[in-house]
Amino acid sequence: MTVMAKISTPPRKRTRVKICGLTRDRDVLAAADLGADAVGLVFYDPSPRSVEIDQARRLLDLLPPFVTAVGLFVDADPDYVRAVLASVPIDLVQFHGDESAGYCSGFGRPWIKAIRMRPGVDLIAAERDYRGAQGLLLDTYDPGTAGGTGRSFNWGLIPQPLASRVVLAGGLNPGNVADAIRRVRPWGVDVSGGVESAKGIKDQAAMAAFMQEVRHGDES
């Protein structure tokens, strides 16, 4: 008797989700309840989503297990980064300015590097330069701000061999994230303003819709 081997189709990769710029207890709890893989807190005073150390510690104390706490810094004084890391249970550091690889690797924590998609950016070179990073986060370039522009960039600029290892950010919202996932197939997506009712104030219905659309993107 001939036994036919069953050929199974490997499961489609699940896109990870980070919800960034959280400032309120209820939004941290909602993000976790909705299935976010990571939450981001901003330690950058010019941002309307910036948090203080005591506030950040209180917010992260609310997290259940297996939700990654990300701390975002922009060209910060190293002593300030160390002070935050000594007081706040940050799992992963996100550097969102013009930090060098040597700077990023100097704090003894896993880290990711944001790359703003300015004209002529070479992502292959960036991956090589920041090879100590856990990954690259790609965000929209605006010369007047370090991030949070609310605008997307041309996803076609992402080299296909690199796409599955990046976190896609920049202007994502419930209306475009499924298309972004279908077109890019990133490792993860990062949202902030796209799920807000005001800067730093998350809209729970928008967060739920975003998570649903991520699943739709994965399934298509």
Catalytic residues: 20, 139
Rg, the chain, Cα only: 18
- Among 38, 70, 77, which Cα is nearest to 56's? 70
How many Cβ atoms are within 10 Å of 60's Cβ, its own excluded?
Answer: 20
Give the separation between CA 170 and CA 190, rounded to whole angstroms: 8
Q: Which residue has the tokens 């998570």?
A: 211
What's the CA gap between 167 and 188, in Å, rounded? 4
Q: Is the Cβ–Cβ distance between 146 and 44 less than 8 Å?
A: yes
| Helix spans in 42-173 (H) | 53-60, 78-87, 101-104, 123-129, 160-163
Contact 51, 41 (CB under 8 A): yes
Q: Which tokens is 201 given? A: 């104030």
